[in-house]
Chains A and B, each alone.
Chain A
């Protein structure tokens, strides 16, 4: 078969698929972060822990309660979103009027506590989650595991549905307006504190949903979100805080960039996203899709 710059196509497409899958998770997670930041003014460092909780909840449902993957795909995000709502009502809502730094410290501390607790209870070695769609398809130029194809499609659907919900619905109009001017939206008779709580629940639910989708691909472990969340923050910075479409495009795009780097210059694959971040910050500090204020 043909070769591209000395790279066999199997390796190229394999890495591109891997990049696309990573990108799918970057997109889903950065979307939740962007929505939360826009509305709450809080940089949610608990996002990685909530992603992990989503995966764990699905794993516990399967192993303890015999709840299958497809049911967990709905139930687990709901449970974790409720936990998020509790967190918002008890703690986060007390710090909105303070500097970003307080939100960062609080959510970072919470992430450490949550991940520490899971590690203490279930260890850090990780547990496997059986693939709900085993097998794969030979596409001729590469072998495509069925579940991975499903994840890419599901992530796209989730991202576009979230975009639609925010940009094209009444609830989304409330959300966009309250992001701009919460005081005025409240003076129109909308219960903005409740809207904020729901938004946080939505963002956390998205993280948990990503976690459930990740469970059959990765090991379910207490620290599975720790490294991921760092990359996702870089994605958010590159895309521009608060831009929905920006988060989606940047998430998938950077996944692919990372995959390509693994093919052409593997040593840089772990740092390439941060290099891109540094360049974007120099050239366009508000991010690729962000509007400078």
Chain B
């Protein structure tokens, strides 16, 4: 495995009184594309939100580029170079497409230019003056991904980017995610769609009841297909 970029150990998290994560551990090397798989409610989204600092109550250790970030506020974590694309996409309705794209501030050099992002998502350029939420679901997803590529963040947290999209759009998003990996982005992807995840990722962590219970590399997926299907209940 390449040099470790993100290392999560014994991560626990709470929403109010409910204890959601019970000691999550995994790591990602620089340039890797890793997925978190698991059923609904296994704690995948909460794990992303905890890494990002959005879940208020969390303990354990999250190290990014060898620095502990568990106690930091989410704006600080973002400025260290982690970018987040939420499951609900979070496209702002009071901003047009271009304002949405330009919203996240550049935190480090080396991010993509607006022209490069429009090159990746030509639809967005055509609709740059449209209200963000007037776009189709697929376009909104592309906007939500495109928006975090400008900032220079090296680690992207993508929460279910294929959810609710037509197969042809899912395929397009798969191509884009592969291209992003090719450009050197490190990606942590949360997915329900295992078939999609298997086509893009290097490794898969399986979550159950707020813990990581297994890890399978993409090369070993075929041998372990029965076990994975049991985990995911598909």
Contacts and interface: CB of A to CB of B under 8 A. Distances in A.
A190 B147 CA distance: 14
Given A173-B95, A174-B103, A179-B94, A184 B86 contact: yes
Interface string A221-234: 00000000000000
B107 A177 contact: no
B75 interface: yes
Interface string A155-194: 0000000000000001001101101110111111111100
Interface in B33-83: 52-54, 73-75, 77-79, 83
B73 A176 contact: no
Interface residues of B, number: 25
Contacts of B90: 181, 184
Contacts of A188: 75, 78, 83-84, 103-105, 148, 151
A183 B55 CA distance: 10
A177 B75 contact: no
Contacts of B105: 188-190
Q: Chain A interface secondary structure, helix, strand, loop or mixed?
A: helix
B92 A181 contact: yes
A177 B92 contact: yes
A187 B74 contact: yes
B73 A186 contact: yes
Contacts, number: 58
Contact-residue size bin, chain A (C-beta under 8 Å from the other chain): 10 to 19
B224 interface: no
Contacts of B52: 187
Contacts of A184: 84, 86, 90
A183 B54 contact: yes
Nearest to B99: A173
A258 B16 CA distance: 50
Nearest to A167: B94
B53 A177 contact: no
Interface in B120-173: 148, 151
- Complex A-B, nearest 3 residue pairs according to Cβ-Cβ distance, in ascending order: A189-B78, A188-B104, A176-B94
Interface of B: 52-54, 73-75, 77-79, 83-84, 86, 90, 92-95, 99, 102-105, 107, 148, 151
Given A180-B93, A187-B54, A189-B75, 7 more contacts: A170-B102, A173-B102, A179-B94, A184-B86, A188-B151, A189-B104, A189-B151
Interface of A: 170, 173-174, 176-177, 179-181, 183-192
